[in-house]
A = this chain, B = another copy of it.
Amino acid sequence: MNRKELVDLIYRKKSFLCVGLDSDKSKLPECVLTKEDPVFEFNKAIIDATLPYTVAYKPNLAFYESQGIEGLVSLKKTMDYLHSFDKECFTIADAKRGDIGNTSQQYAKAFLSPESDFGFDSMTIAPYMGEDSVKPFTVYENKWVILLALTSNKGANDFQFTQDNQGTKLFEQVLTKAQEWGTKDNLMFVCGATQAEMFSTIRRIAPDHFLLVPGVGAQGGSLSEVCKYGLTKECGLLVNSSRGIIFADHSADFAKTAAQKAKELQEEMKTYLER
């Protein structure tokens, strides 16, 4: 999906909601556990319920890999299902990969290539290994790198705020340097909602790039704060909620509740888009 298609999708659905399919098997509602592939059945129900309010889905690979090969089969089925809704949603492999050049090429092939088992629109990448670890993810047409800049977790404070001798923080260096490796048409940044006070700085360095924003909901970030500083005239945000939507209700009504939670966020997002 290219930038224009993504922006069109956002204004059509009046939403910039990303639903995180962190479908931890140990937390699935009882009613899906009897199905042949509980993780896939859960995802399918969540997708069906939330699609009207949602522009992106983001399975975090860890929750599939932890189920071994069986988990990857559930992921493939989930992606096949998402592909059946052509242009109705953007897909993100939350994989946080990155390796030396020839190895990153293999990861890009694994997740972004149209011939792969998954064929995601984008994937998250860690910046620590620099240029040759990131650039191989920019070669597929209409596919995106989403580079970690400022993450939503406590450990973000360990290295990401380290200042160089000019006072530039590491996450700011990442935001600046990476713009030599990709453009606003194939590069986004992860910036956590728990760091909302940093969004004006982020927008000074990367005024037009899309930001993928985790941390709203279970992690405590505020949507209104993120929008206040992060929203651009082409939206420029994908705000993720995972546990706050998919695990809001563990009863047989889980999908209905997920739809309600997604709708609440979408309705709030609509007001920001219309300002």
Contact = CB atoms under 8 A, between A and B. Distances in A.
Contact of A110 (B66, B96, B162, B165): B66
A126 B170 contact: no
B109 A66 contact: yes
Contacts of A104: 62
Contacts of A155: 100-101, 129-134
Given A164-B162, A170-B162, A99 B62 contact: yes
Interface string A68-86: 1100110010000000000
A163 interface: yes
Contacts of A101: 153-155
| Chain A: interface size category | 35 or more
B153 A129 contact: yes
Given A128-B148, A154-B131, A60 B170 contact: no
Nearest to A151: B129
Given A62-B99, A62-B106, A154 B130 contact: yes
A12 to B, nearest CB: 31
Contacts of A99: 60, 62, 94, 96
Interface string A39-71: 000000000000000000000101101111100
A185 interface: no
A96 B124 CA distance: 13
A177 interface: yes
A69 B153 contact: no
Interface of A: 22, 24, 60, 62-63, 65-69, 72-73, 76, 94, 96-101, 103-104, 106-107, 109-111, 116-118, 126-134, 148, 151-160, 162-165, 170, 173-174, 177, 219
Given A66-B107, A134-B155, 16 more contacts: A60-B106, A62-B104, A65-B107, A65-B110, A65-B111, A66-B106, A66-B110, A69-B76, A96-B126, A100-B151, A101-B155, A126-B128, A128-B151, A128-B160, A129-B151, A132-B153
24 contacts: A62-B103, A66-B106, A66-B107, A68-B116, A69-B73, A69-B76, A69-B117, A94-B99, A96-B126, A100-B153, A100-B155, A126-B126, A127-B158, A129-B148, A129-B151, A130-B157, A130-B158, A133-B155, A134-B155, A158-B177, A159-B177, A162-B164, A162-B170, A164-B165
The 7 nearest A-B residue pairs measured at CB: A130-B155, A130-B158, A68-B117, A62-B106, A65-B110, A66-B106, A100-B153
